[in-house]
Structure 1
Amino acid sequence: MESLARGGTRWKRFAVVMVPSVAATAAIGVALSQGALAASFSVSGQQFKVSADRLDGKGFVQYGAVDSTKAGKKPVAVVGFNEAKIRNLCQSVVVPVPAFGDVTMKLGAGADAAAPVEAKKLYIDADDIGANATFNNIDIGVAADSTSKGPGPNKGDKYSPGSFAQQADSATFTDVKQRAWATTAGTFKLSGLHMAVKKGKNECY
């Protein structure tokens, strides 16, 4: 079975439209030696933007959760992949600096199609997503704690075990744009990595 979805979605509609928050947020650069990091840590409350030309993922899962930030709790759509390859990845975050103004930290990697960004046991927490997405052998409406095709819910995530989730054997996303709060990964390989810091706003999109 193959399902095709186009466009963007927000938290209030993610359970209906289910366009995934794409794994491009892996650019935040969390690389651990074993498995996925528990997402029970308190995130900074600073959102970041990510774009990518293409993402090919194996073992996909998505469910709703709540992140604890310094500014309070935030509802998010969590996306997990067993494996993901990302082409032309860009991640940017604008940081306000007192008495200086905004400063943008921008990271790029995987521009060469022969050497994409690679990640395993990848989880992304996002609240705004836009992409073209194709799912292979998708199951929509699975209980979050009963998913079997992807890596399963991240350890430490605050979610309801019986809540709405979806899963697929694989998924492909193109023209990716998203706003995220946190990313964790088991392993994360950034080919052709480049990072720049500039005054003002210089975001990925």
Structure 2
Amino acid sequence: MVPSVAATAAIGVALAQGALAASFSVSGQSFKVKADKLVGQNFVQYGGVAEGVDSKGNKATHPVAVSGFKTAQITNMCQSVVTPLPLLGTSVTLVLKAGDKGTKIKAENLYLDVESLDADAEFKNIDIGVAAGSTKAPGIQPGTKADPNGFAQQADEAILRNVKQTAWATTAGTFKLPDLNLRLKVGDPQKYECY
């Protein structure tokens, strides 16, 4: 256990310093993300399919709205994922917080596979109804399941406030997490989840 904890800590430090590309896909589980504000440049959004598991642990696909940003800045982010431990009769909630002490999280080539989203949204120079394959940078994420001729939208800038989302995956070329705080909480997830 000690080597794996040390490796996880080293990866966390590298992510916080922006030294590694980041991809969060939590073993096919959905997870929650809350943020005070997300400002993203060169925004694209299109329909896609995320792979995961169903309630019985079998492989399943889930329709998602993929949101892509060439660059993004995020203020006060919380991410939580719950892992049930049936043999112990409890759950473990991984809670990750960053960007809550005045320095914003910065990401490049950020993609979010979103199942649900609640926010106050503002779009600048929006273009709705374009084909997904004709969107501006960052375009369709390589290796994802999306119809290049399907419905999509794009904007020069997207500003989301009071963000609450459930996602299946987050991928970024670079994800710099200032003031990273990662904790494992055992017990009732409702006490620990971001929302």
User: TM-score, normalised to structure 1's length?
Assistant: 0.78
User: What stretches of structure 1 move > 4 A for 4+ residues in a row?
Assistant: 31-34
Q: Secondary structure at the match of 1:145?
A: helix
1:66 aligned onto 2:49: yes
Q: Paired residue for 2:56?
A: none
- The correspondence of residues 88-167 of structure 1 with structure 2, limited to 5 A, is 88-100=76-88, 101-113=90-102, 115-148=103-136, 150-167=137-154
Match of 1:189 in 2: 176
For structure 2, the 5+ residue unaligned runs are 1-14, 54-58
Secondary structure, counterpart of 2:144 in structure 1: coil
Structure 1 residue runs without a partner (length 5+): 1-28
Question: How many residue pairs align between the two structures?
Answer: 171
> Which letter maps to 1:176?
V
Aligned-pair RMSD on alpha carbons? Answer: 2.2
1:16 aligns with: none
Deviations, residues 124-156 of structure 1 (Å, cap 9, x unaligned): 1011110000000000000000011x3000001
Q: 1:60, 1:32 → 2: CA distance? A: 24
Structure 2: how far apart are the matches of 1:174 and 1:110?
15
Aligned AA for 2:96?
A: L
**Considering only CA atoms, is the larger Rg found in Structure 1 or Structure 2?**
2
Q: Distance in 2 between matches of 1:85 and 1:196?
A: 23
The CA deviation at 1:191 is 0.3
Percent identity between the aligned chains?
Answer: 52
The 1-side partners of 2:63 and 2:45 are apart by 13
**2:193 aligned to which of 186, 189, 203:** 203
Deviation at 1:159, TM superposition (A): 1.2
